[in-house]
Structure 1
Amino acid sequence: MVKLNSIEEVDLLANTKSAKKRIAIIKKRTLRNKMIKSRVKTFIRRFNESLATKDIEAIKERLRLAVKELDKAVSKGVLHKNTAARKKSKLYAKFNALLKSASNE
């Protein structure tokens, strides 16, 4: 059994025109999915970084943007809806914990 590490290696195995076309489509979709996932991770990272500032309005805006990106990824089929829900839940939990600690001070 041959272990293939990338789509390029699979490309060498394709014989038919339709197989080559499918490989091209997969490459394009993989690139698109990577871009969307990277964008989601960036927005989540920005939210997490903004937690240190303790500026509630800025954090709220970053949370809104992160949730928006997660929802976009779900609508494009890049993330499963339950995955996005889990990630949003974690973000909201962090935000609510910050609000709770801010109200106690």
Structure 2
Amino acid sequence: MANSPQSQKRARQAERRTAVNKARRSRIRTYLRKVEEAIASGDKDAAAAALKAAQPELMRGVTKGVFHKNTASRKISRLSSRVKSLG
């Protein structure tokens, strides 16, 4: 348990950041799920549109420190190759 005033404040700040990051991560995962669903349905146009919407969200997660840069790049790369391979 935090004892000093500074450590109590840091604990409060960490709690707020955790909530913000959790919401951000959830939002990004929703975008990724939409791409996955479009790929599963086989609709190339919908998948491409969903991917185009997901890319900036993923990279925004990188700048906000939610994801590592290489992780986001890898996800985008793999999704775009799957969208490209659709009929």
In the other structure, the counterpart of 1:8 is none
In the superposition, the TM-score normalised over structure 2's length comes to: 0.91
Instruction: Name stretches of at least 5 consecutive residues in structure 2 with no aligned partner.
Output: none
Offset at 1:54?
3.1
Does 2:33 align with 1:45?
Answer: yes
Q: Give the paired residue count.
A: 87
* Structure of larger gyration radius: 1
Name the CA distance, whole Å, in 2 between partners of 1:67 and 1:89: 10
Tell me the C-alpha RMSD between the 2 structures.
1.1
In the other structure, the counterpart of 1:90 is 78
Name the CA distance, whole Å, in 2 between partners of 1:58 and 1:92: 13
Does 2:2 align with 1:14?
Answer: yes
CA contact (8 A) 2:25 2:66 kept: yes
CA contact (8 A) 2:51 2:79 kept: yes
Name the CA distance, whole Å, in 1 between partners of 2:39 and 2:79: 10
Q: Which has the higher contact order (CA 8 A, sep 6+)?
A: 2
Deviates further, 13-22 or 54-63: 54-63
**Residue 13 of structure 2: which of 4, 25, 44 is its match?**
25
Report sequence identity in percent.
39
Instruction: Name stretches of at least 5 consecutive residues in structure 1 with no aligned partner.
Output: 1-12
For residue 28 of structure 2, what is the amino acid of its counterpart?
V
**Residue 63 of structure 1: which of 21, 26, 51 is its match?**
51
